[in-house]
Structure 1
Amino acid sequence: MSEAFYTDKSRVRASFERAASSYDAAAVLQREVSDRMAERLDYIKLQPAVILDAGSGTGYGAAMLRERYPQAQVVELDLAHSMLCASREKQRDSQGLLGRLFRRQTPWQLCADVERLPLADNSVDMIWSNLAIQWVNVPDSVFAEFQRVLKPEGMVMFSTLGPDTLSELRSAFATLDAASHVNQFIDMHDLGDALMHCGFAEPVMDMEKIIMTYDTVREVMHDLKAIGAHNATAGRNRGLMGKHAWQRVCDAYEARRHGGQLPATYEVLYGHAWKAQLSKKPQILADGRQVIEFTRTPPKR
C-alpha cells in the first residue's frame, strides 16, 4: 500500500487527546453517520450479550447501543484516554445524584488500539465501529482482530470514509504543491476484499455522500481540528504554511462556492459481515497445508 495511506498513529492519538473538549460541538457528521448506521440494525435480528464499540469517541454510539440492547454489556474502546474520560463524565452527569452515589452504571472502557485489541478470543457478540477504522494503516489488521475477538456467528458493523472524502479541500491544496495535505482513504471494494480475506461471511458494503456546508475555508479547517481529524499521513509536509500559500488554497477552494456556501464532501462507507463458524475439522493435504471450511447459518437477519 502507498505511503500516502499510512498514518502516524502517535499523531492520531495526540490529535484526539486534544480534541476531546471540542469534539461534541463539531461532531455533526459523526452523530449523523452513527444514527444512519443504527437504522441498519432495525433489519438485523441479533441480541448480543457483549458489544464492543471500537473507536467510541465521547460515547454517542455507546449510549445508543445501551438503549437498544439494555441487557448487553457495552465496552467502549478508544485510542485517546481523554475521549473515554469525556464519555464517562457524560454518563455520570446523566445518572443524577442517586446514580452517582450508588454507581449504578460504571462504564466498561478500554484505552487501546483497534489493531491490537486487549480482549480474549471469541469474547464479543457484536462489534460496532463508527468512523474509526479510516485511521488504521492496513484494514486487514483491524479486521483480523475483529475476527479474533468475535464469537462464532458474531457480527461486525462499521462505517468509514472513502477516497472522495474532502475532495474539494484536496483539490485546493493540489494547486499549491504535490505534498500530502489531506488524509487518504481506502476504496470500498478494497475493504470488502479485506473482510473476505480475514474470513468474514456475507460482507455487505454500501456508500453514500454527505455534503457539509460552510461559510469560509477556515470554518472547514476549524471543524476538522475540533474533531481531531488533522492530516496524519506519513508523507505529510511538517512545515508551517505561509500566508501567501494559504491564500492560494483559500482562493482555489472559493471556486467551489455554490449557493453562497462552501461544500465539504464526505464519502461515507458502511459495512457489515458475520464471523463464520468452522463447519468441520481442517482437512490436511499431502504437503501439510490445511483446508478449512466455514459456514454460516442465515437465521439472524
Structure 2
Amino acid sequence: MRDDHEAAPFDLDRKLLRRALERAALGYDKAAFLHREVGNRLLERLNLIKRQPETIVDVGCGTGAITAALMKKYRKARVIGLDLAPALVKKACKQAPWLRTLHGAVAEPEALPLPSASCDLVFSHFALPWCLDLDRVFAEFQRVLKPGGGLLFSTLGPDTLIELRRSWAAADGYNHINAFLDMHDIGDALMRARLAEPVMDVERLTLTYSNVGGLMRDLKALGAGNFTFGRARGLTGKGRLRAMQAAYELFRRPDGLLPVSCEVVYGHAWGSIQNRSRLRGDGAAVFPLEQLHRHGRENR
C-alpha cells in the first residue's frame, strides 16, 4: 500500500474506508435504498445464467440484504460472503444465517482468500467503486472462477454524484468525491484479465433530496465518505460548506427538489476460453462438451 507521499490524489486510504464502513454497519440499511434497488436489478440479470452454481462468492456482501435474496435464488449453493468490514459481515450473517465467511470475512477484492478455480459464480454488487486497480481485481475474479464460471457485477460510473462534485469544485480545490471509472475503462480491464464475452451496459438513475444535508447524512450512514489522499485535511469550514450548498442550489428542479445523479454500470463475463480448455498430449485443445453446447446455442 502506498504511503501519503507516494499516493496519487484519487488513491483511497483503505484504513479510513474500513473504519467508516465498520461504524456504518448499524445504520447502513436505512440509507441503502439505492443499494437495494440496484441489487435487485442485478439479481434479475442472473436469469441470463441458466446454470445452477454450486459455490458462489459475494464480493462486497455488505449487511446481507442482497445476499439473502441470492441465497434464496440458489438454495442448494454454498454462498461465501466477503467484505472490508467485519461488522458488515456480522450483520450479513444475521440476515442470511447460512452465509459462509472466511478469515474473519475481511477481504480485499484484489486479494480474495479463496483457492483458484473454486467458484462457479463471482457476484459483486457495489464493491468496485472502492477499487481503482481493476486489473488486479479482475485478475482475482478470473483466478477464483471455475472453468465455465460466471462473473456478474455492478458499479458506479463517473456521472455519479456529479452535482455534488461540481458544487464542491465551486467551493474549493480539494477532492470530495471518489474517481468512479468509465464503463469503457471497465470493459478494457475485463479484456486485459482475459475474461470471456464481456457485456457492459449503463443505467442512469436520479435520486432527489429536499436539501444537501440529507444527502450528506445518507452518504455518511453508508460509510461513503471522502477517503481520497487529495482530500482537505482537518474539518471543513462553515464558509466552504455554505459555498458548496449555494452552488448545489443551482441544480434545484422546478418541483423544489435537488437531484442526485447515479450512473450505474452493469457487467458480466465468463472465465476465459483458454482457462476452460485443457491440452492433450498431442497439443490439441479439449473443451468441455457443455461449453460447446452453450456457445452453439448463443451463435444460432
Structure 2 residue aligned with 1:23 = 28
Task: Name the amino acid aligned to 1:196.
Answer: M
Tell me if the contact between 2:155 and 2:265 (Cα under 8 Å) persists in the aligned partners: yes
In structure 2, distance between residues paired with 1:220 and 1:154: 38
SS of 1:117's partner is coil
Are 2:63 and 1:58 aligned?
yes
In structure 2, distance between residues paired with 1:264 and 1:247: 18
Structure 2 residue aligned with 1:192 = 187
- Counterparts of 1:35-184 in structure 2 under 5 Å? 35-91=40-96, 105=98, 107-109=99-101, 110-184=105-179
Give the Å deviation of 1:243: 1.0
TM-score normalised by structure 1 residue count: 0.88
Unmatched 5+ stretches in structure 2: 1-6
Task: Name the amino acid aligned to 1:270.
Answer: Y
Task: Name the amino acid aligned to 1:262.
Answer: L
Quick one: structure 1 residues 280 and 84, their matched pair in 2 at CA, closer, same or farther if it must change by over 3 Å? closer
Identity, % of aligned positions: 46
In structure 2, distance between residues paired with 1:129 and 1:152: 19
Structure 2 residue aligned with 1:288 = none
Structure 2 residue aligned with 1:97 = none
Give the Å deviation of 1:3: 2.6
Tell me if the contact between 2:10 and 2:175 (Cα under 8 Å) persists in the aligned partners: no
Give the Å deviation of 1:280: 5.0
SS of 1:255's partner is helix
String of CA shifts for 1:191-248, please: whole Å, max 9, x gaps.
1010010010000000011111001100010010001100111211122111111111
Quick one: structure 1 residues 254 and 46, their matched pair in 2 at CA, closer, same or farther if it must change by over 3 Å? same
In structure 2, distance between residues paired with 1:177 and 1:229: 20
Tell me if the contact between 1:16 and 1:227 (Cα under 8 Å) persists in the aligned partners: yes
Structure 1 residue aligned with 2:39 = 34
Structure 2 residue aligned with 1:215 = 210
Unmatched 5+ stretches in structure 1: 93-104, 283-291
Tell me if the contact between 2:64 and 2:92 (Cα under 8 Å) persists in the aligned partners: yes
String of CA shifts for 1:58-109, please: whole Å, max 9, x gaps.
00121111111111001110010000111123345xxxxxxxxxxxx3x311
Task: Name the amino acid aligned to 2:262.
Answer: Y
Aligned length: 278
In structure 2, distance between residues paired with 1:233 and 1:89: 32
In structure 2, distance between residues paired with 1:183 and 1:128: 23
In structure 1, distance between residues paired with 2:127 and 2:293: 28
Are 2:267 and 1:271 aligned?
yes
Give the Å deviation of 1:293: 11
SS of 1:154's partner is strand
TM-score normalised by structure 2 residue count: 0.88
In structure 1, distance between residues paired with 2:94 and 2:53: 26
Tell me if the contact between 1:4 and 1:184 (Cα under 8 Å) persists in the aligned partners: no
Task: Name the amino acid aligned to 1:139.
Answer: L
Give the Å deviation of 1:4: 4.0
